[in-house]
Amino acid sequence: MCSGIHVEECDVKKWYQLDVEQIEQKLYVTTSKGLSSKQVDQRRKQYGDNALEAEKKTSKWLIFLKQFQDFMVLVLLAATLIAGMLGEFIDAIAIMVIVLVNGFIGYFQEQKAEKSLDKLKELSAPMAHVLRDQRWEKISSRDVVVGDIVKINSGDRIPADVRIVKANNLETEESALTGESLPVMKHATAISKENLDAQDQVNMGFMGTLVTRGSGVGIVVGTGMNTVMGQIASLMVNTKKVPTPLERKLAELGKILIAVALLLTVLVVALGVLQGHPVYRMFLAGVSLAVAAIPEGLPAIVTVALSLGVQRMIRKKAIVRKLSAVETLGCASVICSDKTGTMTENQMTVKEVYLNDQTLHVTGDGYNIIGDYQLNGRPVDREHSNLEMMLLYGMLCNNASLQVKKGKYYVDGDPTDGALIIAARKIGLNVSNGEDFKVIKEIPFDSDRKRMSVIVEDANERRFLITKGAPDVLLPRSTYLLDNDQRRILKPKDEEKIEGAIDQMAEKALRTIAIGMRPLSSEDSLDTAFLEKDLTFIGLYGMIDPPRKEVKKAIEECRQAGIKTVMITGDHVKTARAIASKLNLLPENGLVLEGHQLNQMSVEELEDIIDDVYVFARVTPEHKLKIVKAFQERGHVVAMTGDGVNDAPAIKASDIGISMGITGTDVTKEASSLVLMDDNFATIKAAIKEGRNIYENIRKFIRYLLASNVGEILVMLFAMLLAMPLPLVPVQILWVNLVTDGLPAMALGMDKPENDVMKKKPRNPKEGVFARGLGWKIVSRGFLIGIVTLIAFMLTYQNNPDNLVYGQTVAFTTLVMAQLIHVFDCRSENSVFDRNPFENIYLVFAVLSSILLLLVVIYWEPLQPIFHTTALSLRDWMLILGLGSLPTVLFGFTKR
Ligand code: ADP
Ligand code: MG
């Protein structure tokens, strides 16, 4: 049976052996139109997602069981079992239940963290550029089906196996597949040889391989597991989750904390036994205390807090690809940002055209084809000297297309190219005017070359080259000048004039592009390396790309936060300067450096002045690496943006690599740790703010949890030292641990930033967990919590020596209330009175529900024997609240 689109199995010929027309026939598609949405739906149903089968997940049971593997929890369970056998059934069961509930909480936290990480993966999934229903659109690579026509560009990962039907200098790197890291040149013609290996099928593009140069179009012939990559997918290694620096620091710290907690616990047990308490009871109390006081769950809560923060960042249009970036963001001291598209709108509009020593003004705004050309305020018509030719050439040497969606024009492709199409449409030029010309070869634009060329053949089969690009790149390559209808030698005097025109445009913040041509004879080789010379200079375009509205304020906020913003652009230095001053980015004595100056400097020389540099102009992606290194050498934590394939090394080398969600290539996205969904500079600022906040929130709950634990241990220790009865029984200790640690700590992780987060200097990345007074805060608050609990116990017990349960209930309640009040103290680095306690509604809710649970175990009779509690009076509560609030109120005044 040879039907449908599964030709490989039955047809003798392989995809690489077929002509494009044959493939079109097999797959029921036309390259110029693409599939219809009906075909797409049907194929998706039939063949499913274009994805490699997901790796196996850890089973839910395992995650649940993992919560109990902790050594102390096992000891506790064993001790409980012994207690049960000795007849203390109620205690034993109560402890079991609490341990189980604790396990559930751990389980849910881990699940939550896992889910949000999954969601992240989805969000940063690669996109594909496909032609469907005759329209180019960007879709998730997952939705690509067999028969789709896809466009691939340098920096893309090829979304599926494709047969190349058009290639412009197309090169791919297939090491993921073949192990060969040298790029392979691709072309579009059929190969007749039999049994070729993947690496020799040079008219095929394979899923997951990288486009390193050029561009092309392909027809999808295999998706998902039916690709070459799919066949070896099982061999691929799963990526492990690497712990963030903070998680690592905490894991280290955890070991010390465990040791200290164990030591103190042993001390408590030993003292208790010495004072004549029964051994097994002290043992159970000791183990409970150890379980409660050891912050074994800290790294897990940190992960939860990080991933909750990550979700908040998503809402602000920043996707974190590496969890560690959340932490590093808070340390950023320099942001190196692309100008075009990140600080500006990337909405180019040609405002001026210079030709024949005249500057024409172009009216009309944005992607709107209405507008005209004026000379000294008077409109000129399309016959005006070489205007029509220049605009036509601009449209031919072009990679974008103008599309209509819901009655509105939009540009598919590079906005710079789009602007040239709009400019041509304004005098009524259309693609159809270009039909007499055939583009037979293209040398694509890239930021290193700063130019793009096409070879065009006219109706009489005469060939010529059109080149457009940065004027300072084109001028040295021009030998002639088009002066009205004459071609003549370009003299130094002409060059001066042109440079004057460039300066004038650039000073108005216009981006400048020059255009030129060169007739080719039929003998001229089409070898692109030698073509772009001896050009005939035609004219200049000056296009505006307005700064984004939010950026100026964002730069100012960064400045207040001790973060320097640096603009990086391939544009003319004057254009860069003009935009920089519009954004208030360049201080009076700030420096502007150009690419050619950077070339002549060593990293060391650059280091000496880099703190004064605010703008880098006419740079290529290679310069970015030098810039990152120099800043890092100066001790900065550098955030660097990029979009093109060549930006990847700099992004990787920076501390926070940032890529563009809309215009970014897959390569840069993969190298980055943060993706801006809206390509917007202001989003970087928002992410930094969030990053700082997350770190502060983590500090908040570390402080809260540890101070609580210090309090718990100390009250037991002091009681034993003073030869008193146990102020808390094991169930109570475990209950305190469960109720106060769980929800309130999580709620602290959701806290809003303090007003001054963006008024402080960036955090030193080397600072320890207890830096900036956190250690003192923990010890001092914890100490007081322990003391007030002990006082409450002593006062009650002294007056009722034969009612130990009463004294223990008061101690238990005081400890819980002191912690629940103290949680509000943790929200501020300064004083509890600085913040509105009701601002964090999660926290209010968490505290209220903890109080409710407390009331239940005190007042609900069936639970009283289990928790060793008794009902309290109003007077007791006055004592409890008075003492319980003391640690927080006291330090609220001293502000230490
Ligand atoms: P940026 O960093 O501002 O995006 P680029 O490196 O992309 O700068 O562009 C540098 C210069 O190259 C521009 O000032 C312009 O003169 C020229 N240029 C930009 N885009 C194109 C294009 N699509 N075709 C030809 N030249 C271009
Ligand atoms: Mg660019």
| DSSP letters for 734-772 | HHHHHHHHHHHHHHHTTPPPPTTGGGSPPPPTT--TTTT
Q: Looking at the DSSP assignment, which residues form a beta bridge with residue 402?
A: 411
Under a CB-based contact definition with an 8 Å cutoff, are residues 421 and 401 in contact? Answer: yes
As to burial, measured by CB atoms within 10 angstroms (0-12 exposed, 13-18 middle, 19+ buried), residue 357 is middle
> How far is residue 442 from each of residues 173, 280, 436, 594, measured CA to CA in Å?
20, 85, 17, 29
Q: Looking at the predicted structure, is the pLDDT value of residue 811 above 90?
A: yes
Structure tokens at 59: 């089973």
Our CA dihedral for 153, 159, 164, 165, rounded to 10 degrees, sits at -80
pLDDT, residue 895, reads 73
Of 239-253, 482-496, 544-558, the range with the lowest mean pLDDT is: 239-253
Instruction: Read off the pLDDT band of 1 (50, 70, 90).
Output: very low
For ligand 1, say whether the CB of 340 is within 6 Å of any of its atoms: yes
Q: Which atom of ligand 1 is nearest to the CA of 417?
A: 23
pLDDT tens per residue, range 636-689: 999 999 988 889 889 999 999 999 988 888 888 888 999 999 999 999 999 999
Q: Looking at the predicted structure, is the pLDDT value of residue 199 above 90?
A: no
For ligand 1, say whether the CB of 518 is within 6 Å of any of its atoms: no
Structure tokens at 836: 């509105």
pLDDT tens per residue, range 6-58: 444 444 578 999 999 999 999 999 998 999 999 999 999 988 888 877 555 66
For residues 226-254, average pLDDT: 69
Q: Which atom of ligand 1 is nearest to the CA of 572?
A: 14
pLDDT, residue 392, reads 94
> How far is residue 285 from each of residues 79, 610, 819, 826, measured CA to CA in Å?
10, 61, 20, 28
HEC per residue, 448-498: CCCEEEEEEECCCCCEEEEEEECHHHHHHHEEEEEECCEEEECCHHHHHHH
For ligand 1, say whether the CB of 571 is within 6 Å of any of its atoms: yes
Of 231-235, 548-552, 882-886, 888-892, the range with the lowest mean pLDDT is: 231-235
Nearest residue to 689 (alpha-carbon basis) of 814, 810, 560, 801? 560
HEC per residue, 31-46: CCCCECHHHHHHHHHH
The CATH T-level fold of domain 296-313+688-894 is: Calcium-transporting ATPase, transmembrane domain (1.20.1110)
CATH of domain 7-55+124-236: 2.70.150.10
| Distance from residue 624's CA to the centre of ligand 1 (Å) | 16
Which residue in 148, 156, 161, 338 is the catalytic one?
338
Nearest residue to 222 (alpha-carbon basis) of 207, 240, 239? 207
| Distance from residue 570's CA to the centre of ligand 2 (Å) | 7
Q: Looking at the predicted structure, is the pLDDT value of residue 700 above 80?
A: yes
| Distance from residue 564's CA to the centre of ligand 2 (Å) | 22
Our CA dihedral for 315, 318, 320, 324, rounded to 10 degrees, sits at -100
**CATH code 3.30.930.10 for 363-368+381-540:** no
In terms of pLDDT, which residue wins out, 297 or 3? 297
For ligand 1, say whether the CB of 512 is within 6 Å of any of its atoms: yes
Strands (E), 382-434: 401-405, 408-412
In terms of pLDDT, which residue wins out, 126 or 139? 139
Our CA dihedral for 807, 810, 811, 813, rounded to 10 degrees, sits at 150
pLDDT tens per residue, range 435-485: 788 888 888 898 889 999 999 998 888 999 999 999 999 999 999 999 887
For residues 211-225, average pLDDT: 92
HSE toward the beta carbon, residue 232, CA cutoff 13 A: 13
Nearest residue to 157 (alpha-carbon basis) of 190, 128, 116, 115? 128
- For residue 513, what are the contacts with CB-CB under 8 A and spacing of at least 6? 416, 420, 468, 469, 470, 471, 540, 541, 543
Q: Determine the Cα–Cα distance for residues 60 and 647; give it in Å rounded to an integer.
A: 41
**338 among known catalytic residues:** yes
For residues 151-164, average pLDDT: 92
| Distance from residue 1's CA to the centre of ligand 2 (Å) | 51
For residues 611-625, average pLDDT: 95
| Distance from residue 9's CA to the centre of ligand 1 (Å) | 47
Nearest residue to 419 (alpha-carbon basis) of 296, 329, 543? 543
pLDDT, residue 72, reads 65
For ligand 1, say whether the CB of 511 is within 6 Å of any of its atoms: yes
Q: Which CATH number fits domain 319-344+548-679: 3.40.50.10470, 3.40.50.1000, 3.40.30.10, 3.40.50.12780?
A: 3.40.50.1000
Show me where the domains of the chain are located: 7-55+124-236, 296-313+688-894, 319-344+548-679, 363-368+381-540
Residues in the chain: 896
pLDDT, residue 8, reads 47
> How far is residue 662 from each of residues 411, 441, 554, 852, measured CA to CA in Å?
13, 27, 20, 49
pLDDT, residue 123, reads 66
pLDDT, residue 237, reads 40
Pocket test for ligand 1, best of 348, 416, 452 (most atoms within 8 A of CB): 416
Q: Looking at the predicted structure, is the pLDDT value of residue 322 above 90?
A: no
pLDDT, residue 64, reads 77
| DSSP letters for 235-268 | GSPPPPPPPPHHHHHHHHHHHHHHHHHHHHHHHH
For ligand 1, say whether the CB of 664 is within 6 Å of any of its atoms: no
pLDDT tens per residue, range 391-421: 999 999 998 988 888 888 888 889 999 999 9
In terms of pLDDT, which residue wins out, 224 or 536? 536
Q: Determine the Cα–Cα distance for residues 578 and 215; give it in Å rounded to an integer.
A: 33
Q: Determine the Cα–Cα distance for residues 775 and 305; give it in Å rounded to an integer.
A: 21
For residues 743-771, average pLDDT: 90
Under a CB-based contact definition with an 8 Å cutoff, are residues 155 and 665 in contact? Answer: yes
Structure tokens at 841: 């509604």
Q: Which atom of ligand 1 is nearest to the CA of 512?
A: 16
Q: Looking at the predicted structure, is the pLDDT value of residue 2 above 70?
A: no
In terms of pLDDT, which residue wins out, 887 or 255? 887
For ligand 1, say whether the CB of 447 is within 6 Å of any of its atoms: yes
pLDDT, residue 6, reads 46
Strands (E), 85-209: 127-132, 135-140, 149-153, 161-173, 184-185, 204-205
pLDDT tens per residue, range 364-392: 988 888 999 999 989 998 888 899 999 99
- For residue 377, what are the contacts with CB-CB under 8 A and spacing of at least 6? none
In terms of pLDDT, which residue wins out, 191 or 124? 191
Indicate the average pLDDT of the chain.
88
Q: Which atom of ligand 1 is nearest to the CA of 620?
A: 6
For residues 228-249, average pLDDT: 65
| Exposure b/e, 399-436, CB count within 10 A at least 16 = b | bbebbeeeeebebbbbbbbbbbbbbbbbbebeeeebee
Of 8-17, 86-95, 127-136, 830-839, the range with the lowest mean pLDDT is: 8-17
What is the greatest pairwise CA distance in the chain?
115
For residues 739-755, average pLDDT: 86
pLDDT, residue 104, reads 82
Instruction: Read off the pLDDT band of 129 (50, 70, 90).
Output: very high
For residues 805-824, average pLDDT: 96
